[in-house]
Structure 1
């Protein structure tokens, strides 16, 4: 078995009822007809891009997001690219544990146990720790971590009963090391990473695979919203690593998950940090301190 990969334990998790020991990268469509893939944050960005990838592989995709109108637009976009795609829209606020459980149970009752759960719902509001209210910290923790927790807890029960499935957590490069201006966001993504690390071990005997992704800055509506409050030090740091398109990130995530990989870190800089973050962290802190000295601790509107 290659390092960082899981042995194939199930059809839906790896894409084939004769999955190979390397985590075989066959598509889910080869396993069963139209397996269910639940995608939170499915109305835009990385979530929608992952949904497109899964729909192209024959999955019945259930899109979850708060805005029903945007969900309908996302579903229409998937069908334009893949006319035969089966897409279900489920308006949902992932901060509500009861609503998450009810939504998953309803989808399972109609379409069978989920082969996939993509936890992509997330928000980011950068700002300096002493400037941001506690409500900003609570909001990001509730959506980014608790939303992933609630949906995973509900979906994993059905996957365990079926003996197969894959949970995918979308963390962030900010879930690997501390970034200036992200005191509310980074801890929520560290928590996602921690949950994935534990579930990787606990759920493997039940046939459930786990993948955690660490996307770099990705061109999405969320990234545009971030720019409104991002401190200059964080802007400079982000500019040094570049941006990815959501489609490219999603292709990496789905391909990695199909290959049975636990960690997916698109791009050389993110992959390097994922592998060596404990060693690199001092260098990254030094670079941030250098930027702080050069720029000063300015607010975005200074």
Structure 2
């Protein structure tokens, strides 16, 4: 029986470009990639955070000549394009990681429209900008060189979180973008990987304002089974994301929750292997029944808590 070989055998001497690379998941991916022998470009808006990120990576043992930093906002196409092109000129990019994201936990009509627009601009438009610049340069190396585009998504792309409507919309959009790109890039040696972690212990979790509105936070906590003590670490997300990328896996999740939601939400996109497809087929009905019971509980929580809120 032939075993499917990995898409990328190794990250040794590969170049990994990461947007939102100065903190959180992006920085953890940079650290893991460097530990596996890669070169990295960190791209972020803050020069101060980038400088600190580079210092921390070097302190952890990374070689400084393997790190390039670029200041750019993914929502501003011109400066982003310049930064990405300069990164490609430094070294041809093998793995393009679209990680930059922002969040604001608020019921849609209670949020400032400027904040909601900023979420869309970074989380969705920023990814479109990044891949629009990167893909033509990656295509020039096809078909001889296997490459990957990684979209750091969220379980919000597979499950609607209360108080998270616009953020969730951007993540659903990101999943659709990845599914279509997967088809558009089939003639080339460029794979798409969508990583969907759950709650992750990052600065964004502090900055999203989840706990500002106690009533809304309680609804989120009860309906989303939120427990910060069980949040994934950026290092854990980085490891399984890069492993999924090397294996050429399209949809990457962790833990049983991720497996269950990906089984329910895969849509027309097939699983990456016959074995995974068979397991999903066998477990689909039990998972669907469980999701029905969970939905009943969630609807009750939202209705009950909303009455108390108002």
The answer, yes or no, to whether TM exceeds 0.5 is yes
What do residues 191-248 of structure 1 show as CA deviations (whole Å, max 9, x unaligned)? 1111110111111211001100111100000011222446221123242693111101
Instruction: Determine which of 234, 248, 255 is the counterpart of 2:220.
Output: 234
Larger helix fraction of residues: 2
> Partner of 1:289 in structure 2?
299
Paired residues, what number?
Answer: 278
Task: Say whether the 8 Å CA contact 2:29–2:238 is kept in structure 1.
Answer: yes
TM-score (norm 2): 0.83
Cα deviation, residue 134, structure 1: 2.5
For 1:122 and 1:44, the matched residues in 2 are separated by 11
- 2-structure distance, mates of 1:294, 1:41: 38
Q: Does 1:26 align with 2:12?
A: no
SS at match of 1:204: coil
How well do the aligned residues superpose, as a CA RMSD in angstroms?
2.3
Aligned to 1:8: none
The alignment partner of 2:140 has SS state of: helix
Listed one character per residue, the Cα deviations across residues 31-87 of structure 1 (whole Å, up to 9, x for unaligned) are xxx322110110111111111111112211100111101111111111122332511
Equivalent position of 2:105 in the other structure? 126
Alignment check: 8 A CA contact 1:136 1:184 kept: no
Asked if 2 retains the 8 angstrom alpha-carbon contact of 1:43 and 1:74, the reply is yes
Bigger shift: residues 114-123 or 269-278: 269-278
The farther-off stretch of 208-217 and 98-107 is 98-107
Q: How much does 1:153 deviate?
A: 1.3
SS class of match (1:234): helix
**Equivalent residue for 2:178, pick from 196, 209, 212:** 196
2:58 is aligned to 79
Distance 1:80 1:53, change over 3 A: same
Contact 1:127 1:229 in 2 (8 A): no
Gaps of 5+ in 1: 3-19
- Looking at structure 2, the residues matched to 177 and 89 of structure 1 have their Cα atoms a distance apart, in angstroms, of 34
Rounded to whole Å, the distance in 1 between the matches of 2:84 and 2:294 is 40
Aligned residues of 2:34 and 2:62 also touching (Cα < 8 A): no
Give the aligned partner of residue 272 of structure 1: 260
Alpha-carbon distance between aligned partners in 2 of 1:172 and 1:22, rounded to the nearest angstrom? 27
Gaps in structure 2 of 5+ consecutive residues: 268-287
Residue 191 of structure 2 corresponds to residue 209 of structure 1: yes
Match of residue 176, structure 1, among 155, 158, 161: 158
| Equivalence map 1:1-302=2 (5 Å) | 21-24=4-7, 26-29=9-12, 34-84=13-63, 86-111=66-91, 113-163=92-142, 164-226=146-208, 227-229=210-212, 231=216, 232-236=218-222, 237-239=224-226, 242-277=230-265, 279=288, 282-296=292-306
d(CA) in 2 for partners of 1:283, 1:214:
23
Secondary structure of the corresponding residue to residue 244 of structure 1: coil
Q: Please give the per-residue CA displacement for 1:4-30, whole angstroms capped at 9, x wherever unaligned.
A: xxxxxxxxxxxxxxxx8433563121x
Residues 125-162 of structure 1: CA distance to partner in whole angstroms, max 9, x if unpaired?
Answer: 01112211332221111101111111111111111101
